[in-house]
Amino acid sequence: MNQTDRNLGPIPFNLLPDSAEVGSRGELRIGGLAVDDLAADFGTPLFIYDETHLRSRCREALEAFGEGAAYACKAFLCLAMARLVHEEGLHLDVASEGELHTAIAAEVPGERIVLHGNNKSLGELSLARAHGVSRVVVDSFDELDRLRHLHSVDGVVASVLLRVTPGVEAHTHEFVSTGQNDSKFGFGLASGAATTAVDLARSNPGIDLVGIHHHIGSQVFRVESFAQALEIVVGFSEPLELPELSVGGGLGVAYLESESAPSIGEWGDIIGDACERLGVKARVSAEPGRSIAAQAAVTVYSVGTVKELAGIRTYVAVDGGFGDNPRPMLYGSGYTAFVPDRVTEPRPALARIVGKHCESGDVLVREASIPDEIRVGDLLATPVTGAYGYSMGSSYNRIPRPAVVFVSNGSARLVVRRETLEDLISLDVE
C-alpha cells in the first residue's frame, strides 16, 4: 500500500465514544463489549452507539441550557433514542410529520415536543395540535395563515416562536448555513419581514407569540458566530418583551485528529456570557443534535475488496457506503478509519475507503491512514458517525440499510433492525 509521509499512530480516543477502551486482545471495546464480537453477532455494516455517552451529553445540555434544552431529532432518531432523550429531561425538536410520529409512538408527551420545519403542512400542524405539542417554530407567512385557519376550525391557540434570519455568516458548508439573508429559512431581519411577522402573529387569534428563534447553521466551530448572531437578534427580540429566546443549534464536533471543537458546556457558557452582557431577560433555549449524537457512535464495516493501483493508490471497498453515511459525498466531509480488533496498532498505510454503491463519488474516507496489512474479511470502522449518518441514509442500489445497536454496561440491545430484501419491495405495487 502507498505510504504516507508520516507514521500515524493508533486512532486517537478523543474521536471515540466515552466508554471506549482497549481489551486484552488489543481490540476496541465500547460499553464493555468488543466491537468485533458485536459485528459477529449483529452483522455489518453496523452502527454501535454508546448509550452512556448519549446520556452524558443530554445531561450536559440540560446543565448548560436548563429547561429549554431540546434534542434536534434530525441528527438521529428512532424509538429508543426518543425515549432516551425524554428520560434525560430534554425536549424533542422535530422537523417533520415522521419525526413527530416517532416521538408520539415513543410516548413522549406533547408538552415536551417542539415542531420545526420550513414548510409545515396542514397535516403536520394538525397532528401537532392533536398531540398537544408545546411550541411551533413558525417559518413563513403561509404558516401564519395555516394556524389562523386551523384555529377557525378547532379553536386551539398555538404557542409560537418566530424564526428569524440574522444575516450572520456561520463559516460552515453552504449547504448547512441557515442564518444568512439569502436563506429558505425564517423571516429576515434586514428585509423587515421579521417585524411584519411579529405584527401579524400578534393580531392572529390562533397564535400566542411567546418568543423568537434563530439558527445560523450546522457544524459551526467559530463560536464567536453564535455571539454575533445573538447580539443582532437580541436587538430585535428584547424590545418585544417576549418570554423566550432560542439560539437554535449547530455546534460543531471534531471528526478528524486535526480538529477540535467546544463542548456543549463551553457553548452554553459562551451563550450565557453573551446574554448577561446583552441584558437578556427571556428564557434562553437551545437545540443541540450533532454534539449529542455524533461521537457516541462508530460504524463497523467488512472489507470486501482491496484493489492496488500501482503508482496511483489503494482502494479498500467495504460493505456500506453513502447509503449509511452520505456526508462525505454531500459536503466533502472528512472522516478517519481504523481496524477495531487492532485498535492500538499504528496506521502507516494510505488508502481510499470506498463503498459498494455504483457511484465513483461513493467515498467514505478519501485519504485514510490504516494499518499496513488490510485483507478481505477484515473489519474497518469509522468513528464519529452518530449524527446524520443513519438519519440521512438511503437504500440506493437497493442495498439494505444497516442495523443499529445501543451498548451499555456490558450489554447490547438492537434498536433498529437491519433492513431486509423483503423490506425493499414492501412498498412496491404489482
pLDDT digits (tens, 9 = 90+) for 101-123: 999 999 999 999 999 999 999 99
Residue 269 corresponds to which cell in the numbers above?
A: 457558557
Which of the following is catalytic: 58, 73, 275, 358?
A: 358
Residue 240 corresponds to which cell in the numbers above?
A: 418585544
430 vs 132, residue with greater confidence: 132
Q: Is 318 helix (H, G, I), strand (E, B) or coil?
A: strand
Tell which residue, 45, 67, 97, has the closest CA to residue 323. Answer: 45
176 vs 421, residue with greater confidence: 421
> Quick one: pLDDT at residue 320?
97
> Is the CA virtual torsion 163, 167, 172, 176 positive or negative?
positive
**Average pLDDT of 227-247?**
93
What residue has cell string 467488512?
302
> Quick one: pLDDT at residue 46?
98
Quick check: 283 and 210 in contact, CB under 8 A? no
**Average pLDDT of 127-146?**
96
When pLDDT is cut at 50, 70 and 90, the band that residue 167 belongs to is confident
Domains by residue range for the chain, with CATH: 2-50+295-424 (2.40.37.10), 51-291 (3.20.20.10)
Digit-coded pLDDT (tens) for 186-201: 899 988 999 999 999 9
Residue 415 has pLDDT above 70, yes or no: yes
Residue 160 has pLDDT above 90, yes or no: yes
> Quick one: pLDDT at residue 173?
37
> Quick one: pLDDT at residue 255?
94
When pLDDT is cut at 50, 70 and 90, the band that residue 350 belongs to is very high
Residue 427 has pLDDT above 50, yes or no: yes
**Average pLDDT of 61-84?**
96
Residue 275 is among the residues annotated as catalytic for this protein: no
Q: Indicate the range of 27-41, 83-97, 256-270 predicted with least confidence.
A: 256-270
- What percentage of the chain reaches a pLDDT higher than 70? 95
> Quick one: pLDDT at residue 169?
62
Distance, in Å, from the CA atom of 352 to the CA atom of 297, rounded to the nearest integer, reads 21
Residue 2 has pLDDT above 60, yes or no: no
Quick check: 282 and 243 in contact, CB under 8 A? yes
pTM: 0.93
Backbone angles phi, psi at 319, to 5 degrees: -90, 20
> Quick one: pLDDT at residue 216?
86
Q: Which helix (H) or strand (E) holds 53?
A: helix 51-65
When pLDDT is cut at 50, 70 and 90, the band that residue 339 belongs to is very high
Q: Indicate the range of 210-219, 277-286, 394-403 predicted with least confidence.
A: 210-219
Distance, in Å, from the CA atom of 212 to the CA atom of 259, rounded to the nearest integer, reads 32
Digit-coded pLDDT (tens) for 361-383: 999 999 999 998 899 999 999 99
- What percentage of the chain reaches a pLDDT higher than 90? 85
Distance, in Å, from the CA atom of 108 to the CA atom of 177, rounded to the nearest integer, reads 30
When pLDDT is cut at 50, 70 and 90, the band that residue 353 belongs to is very high
Digit-coded pLDDT (tens) for 254-283: 999 888 899 999 999 999 999 999 999 999
Residue 177 has pLDDT above 80, yes or no: no
> Quick one: pLDDT at residue 175?
35
**Average pLDDT of 25-53?**
98
Residue 402 has pLDDT above 70, yes or no: yes
Residue 181 has pLDDT above 70, yes or no: no
9 vs 87, residue with greater confidence: 87
Quick check: 39 and 46 in contact, CB under 8 A? yes
> Quick one: pLDDT at residue 174?
42
